[in-house]
Amino acid sequence: MDALTLASTRDLVWLSRHIAEGMLLGAQHSQRRGAGLEFQQYRSYQAGDPIRHIDWKLFARSDRYFVREAEQESQMHVCILLDTSASMAQPSFTVPQLSKLQYARCWIATLCWLLHSQGDRFSLIALNDRGPRRVPEGQGEDHHRRVALELARLEAAGHWPDRAQIAPLWSLFEQPCQVVLVSDFFEGESADITGFAARLHAAGRPCLPLQLLVDAERTFPFDGELKIHDPERPGFTELAAGPQRADYLRAFAAAQRTLASRFAAQQSPLTSVAVEEPIELSLRRFIDAHGRIG
């Protein structure tokens, strides 16, 4: 799915199903049993398998019977945490209609459809300092639609919430769940996104990080005079792009190494994605990095 389509599509239900079904069609047959979003989740039908586990759509296309492994396994709750602070409003410089938040909407809705396809439960929490937005745990097509509608309503504003604002949310993680944390991880002076993830890890709630960037943040392809504005801070900084490029790239690389090492210490590899990248590719990389989701 190209970046312009992601930017212009407002029907997240249609878009996410379209992307997810394309990914499932490209799946290879399962080589081992087990639940979770692995794109090797089909196997040939065997005598004794319940007929209800047959994928009839795949049968119609292939004239062969295949069974979804994930449908026969226990369900899992996947909680998706989305950073909706102001920096997530950053648009791509090559596709200005596409922001980090819009990419996150499409990515999360697609992940939720994949979770629905394997029978898992999922929930959504969107966080900034103006208060959380939440869709409680559920499953099924109607629940996917509820998540998609809430995603479409979200706006990027303010800051990551402080510890006092986050405190009431900890009760939501008392029951076992797997957490997917979607953010650009641009932490301001008071933000503590990685600290929040570390606390989840310490509580036995695996936190799988997805970092969303625009490509220009990784490459700094600018020339001439620049005015830099941090959406989470007042004012502008003026500078000449050329002399700043090498320093910026060094600082960015160092910050990325530090961020990745923090998550590596929690056995949760960081997946860093540019919003110009097709969602099906970034989702595959994310799932491959963690073995499975759910």
By residue range, what is the domain housing residue 238? 3-16+74-290
Q: Residue 190 has what pLDDT?
A: 54
Q: What is the mean pLDDT of residues 119-147?
A: 96
Residue 127 belongs to some domain of the structure: yes
Contact 37, 280 (CB under 8 A): no
Condensed to tens digits (0 to 9), the pLDDT of residues 78-115 reads: 999 999 999 999 999 999 999 999 999 999 999 999 99
Residues 94 and 86: their CA atoms lie apart, in Å, by 20
Q: Are residues 260 and 136 in the same domain?
A: yes
Q: Are residues 32 and 94 in the same domain?
A: no
Torsion of Cα atoms, 165 then 147 then 187 then 261, to 10°: 120
Residue 47 belongs to some domain of the structure: yes
- Write out the DSSP string of 78-129: EEEEEE-SGGGGPBPSSSTT-BHHHHHHHHHHHHHHHHHHTT-EEEEEEE-T
Q: Are residues 139 and 200 in the same domain?
A: yes
For residue 141, pLDDT over 80 is answered with: yes
Q: Are residues 78 and 179 in the same domain?
A: yes
Q: Are residues 131 and 153 in the same domain?
A: yes
Q: Are residues 197 and 225 in the same domain?
A: yes
Residue 126 belongs to some domain of the structure: yes
Mean pLDDT of the chain: 85
Residue 281 belongs to some domain of the structure: yes
Residue 21 belongs to some domain of the structure: no
Find the angle CA(59)-CA(65)-CA(71) to the nearest 5 degrees: 95
Q: Which residue has the higher pLDDT, 15 or 1?
A: 15
**Nearest Cα to 172, choosing from 127, 220, 234, 141?**
127
Per-residue H/E/C for 237-291: EEEEHHHHHHHHHHHHHHHHHHHHHHHHCCCCCCEEEECCCCHHHHHHHHHHHHC
* pTM, two decimal places: 0.81
Q: Are residues 57 and 178 in the same domain?
A: no
Q: Residue 241: is it exposed, middle or buried by C-beta count within 10 angstroms (0-12/13-18/19+)?
A: middle
Residue 270 belongs to some domain of the structure: yes
Residues 45 and 53: their CA atoms lie apart, in Å, by 9
Q: Average the pLDDT over each of 16-30, 134-148, 153-167, 254-268 and give the range with the smallest value.
A: 16-30
Q: Which residue has the higher pLDDT, 131 or 232?
A: 131
Domain end among 35, 57, 72: 72
Domain end among 36, 55, 72: 72
Q: Are residues 182 and 98 in the same domain?
A: yes
From residue 22, alpha-carbon distances to 15, 140, 195, 238 in Å are: 11, 19, 36, 45
Domain end among 55, 72, 89: 72
Q: Are residues 160 and 195 in the same domain?
A: yes
The domain tally of the chain equals: 2
Please, which contacts does 254-259 make with residues 24 or more away whose CB atoms are closer than 8 Å?
259/185, 259/194, 259/211
Q: Are residues 145 and 274 in the same domain?
A: yes
For residue 110, the domain's CATH number is 3.40.50.410
Q: Are residues 121 and 190 in the same domain?
A: yes
Residues 121 and 234: their CA atoms lie apart, in Å, by 41
Q: Are residues 36 and 106 in the same domain?
A: no
